[in-house]
Amino acid sequence: MKFQIDPRVAHLTAAQLTALTGRYHAGERAIDLVTEYQVRCAPNQLYRLLPPTVLRDRQCDICGAPLIQVRRSRPDATGPGNIVCSVCAHRADGPCGCAVCKRDRSEQRQREVMRCRAEQEAYCCARWSYAERVRAPDDLTFAEAVALLSVVRCGGWRANETVGAVGYSAVPLAPAGELGMQLLTSLIRAGVIAPDPDSPMEAFTASDDDLPAFPYVTYWRILTPSPTALVRRIEHLAEPGEWPQTWRDELGDMQLALALAECREFADYCLLERGLPEAPEVASEALFQNLLRDFSVAQCFRIIWAGAHATSDFLVRKRANRRHAANYFIGACQRWADRARTEAWTIKPGFRNNNYRRSQLSHVLYDVFLGIGEKGFIEPLGV
């Protein structure tokens, strides 16, 4: 960016230009100067046409050419002009956007990213084992096989046969609550999966259990030489009639865990919707266990809905303390179920809540492994 003499001052000799510059910076009125020197520009633009000051004692860090100080309207009006290179456009006195500086900054950013990657890798290797094992599908417990398939379907395959983050799936891994975390934890503890060190950085911050701090944004490595092949073989073995006996023995536990989580999710929703306090954990767990002995999850939903309805009624009628409401809910559901049993009512199945999509775990368990779909929701478990 060598300074070019502007055509509007090209009619002046070098001496005239120097004189004009000097008089302008000495504070003479621009309107007088443009008239006297016959410069065809608006007076407030005159400074743009004047040659910059060359700083002969300072050189550009990048190319060694002399630096110049760009003109401002008056030195005292807006402070001194920027100091830039007379040749390569590098700015010497502040943030510079020249090609060399841009490249330097991007290299620095890249080094920073590499450093973080290396740190994350070291952190992961210190915390989790990445030892791969050749696995047959039936080396996995039933719960592990179901959980692994659910994680893969939620996260999806990424490059290098790693699995994406389950938190970005439109279908939740498991019903709201702890079950999703428990599935991931059990897979990590069994050495089936480990957090991928290439996960987004926000996945890892200090935490002291088996899971990364933010497991729902973590990518996963399946610790076997050919993850996709293992998953295909699990899907094949999942077909009815192919199951190993150990899987059959475990089925009831898995169904019950899912059913309990679905009941808990639905109860929390029904109570929250009516502004009621959460049901106490131990009592509600015992209640749902009891209900699920005879009723399907869908029927439990009907009972839970009725129980929540009765509870808010009770609160209004008796002006009862909110703390009583939680216990009342448990009791109301239990009484409902007991009467249904003794009087042999048929309880119509309820519906899934539109606010909570059926989970991946339910899809995998009832569509892939049992091949009965929503019958798993509508029919009693028989466990």
Please name the helix (run of DSSP H) or strand (run of DSSP E) that holds residue 220, with its range, or none.
Answer: strand 220-222
Contact partners, residue 358, CB within 8 Å, separation at least 6:
171, 352, 374, 377
What is the per-residue DSSP string for 132-165?
Answer: -----GGGS-HHHHHHHHHHHHHH-B-GGG-B--
Q: How far apart are CA 146 and CA 162, in angstroms?
A: 18
C-alpha of 210 from chain center: 20
Select the span of 14-22, 90-98, 242-250, 332-340 touching Zn ion (CB under 5 A). 90-98
Please list every residue from 236 through 295 that binds Zn ion, using CB under 5 A. Answer: none
Of 87 and 256, the one with the shorter C-beta distance to Zn ion is 87
In the complex, minimum distance from the CB of residue 80 to Zn ion, in angstroms, rounded to a whole number: 19
Given 50, 67, 68, 98, the residue binding Zn ion (CB under 5 A): 98
Given 17, 67, 92, 96, the residue binding Zn ion (CB under 5 A): 96
How many degrees, rounded to 5, is the angle at CA 61 between CA 88 and CA 54?
Answer: 65
What is the per-residue DSSP string for 160-212?
Answer: GG-B--GGG-SS-SSSTTTHHHHHHHHHHHTTSEEE-TTS-GGG-----SSS-
What are the Cα distances from residue 226, in Å, to 133, 157, 221, 294, 368? 10, 12, 11, 43, 21
Binding status of residue 84 toward Zn ion by CB under 5 A: no
Of 93 and 178, the one with the shorter C-beta distance to Zn ion is 93
Binding status of residue 101 toward Zn ion by CB under 5 A: yes
- Please give the size of the binding site for Zn ion, defined by CB under 5 A: 11
Of 63 and 306, the one with the shorter C-beta distance to Zn ion is 63
Select the span of 79-87, 179-187, 255-263, 287-295 touching Zn ion (CB under 5 A). 79-87
Given 12, 19, 63, 211, the residue binding Zn ion (CB under 5 A): 63
Binding status of residue 60 toward Zn ion by CB under 5 A: yes
Binding status of residue 88 toward Zn ion by CB under 5 A: yes
What are the Cα distances from residue 199, in Å, to 118, 124, 202? 12, 10, 8
Strand partners, 83: 69
Select the span of 81-89, 176-184, 227-235, 341-349 touching Zn ion (CB under 5 A). 81-89
Binding status of residue 171 toward Zn ion by CB under 5 A: no
What stretches of 191-321 show up as alpha helix (H) in DSSP?
227-238, 245-273, 281-294, 297-318
Of 55 and 65, the one with the shorter C-beta distance to Zn ion is 65
Select the span of 62-70, 188-196, 341-349, 375-383 touching Zn ion (CB under 5 A). 62-70
Given 17, 20, 85, 222, the residue binding Zn ion (CB under 5 A): 85
Report the sign of the C-alpha dihedral through residues 363, 364, 367, 373, in that order: negative
Of 88 and 256, the one with the shorter C-beta distance to Zn ion is 88
Given 46, 62, 68, 184, the residue binding Zn ion (CB under 5 A): 62
Binding site for Zn ion (CB under 5 A): 60, 62-63, 65, 85, 87-88, 90, 96, 98, 101
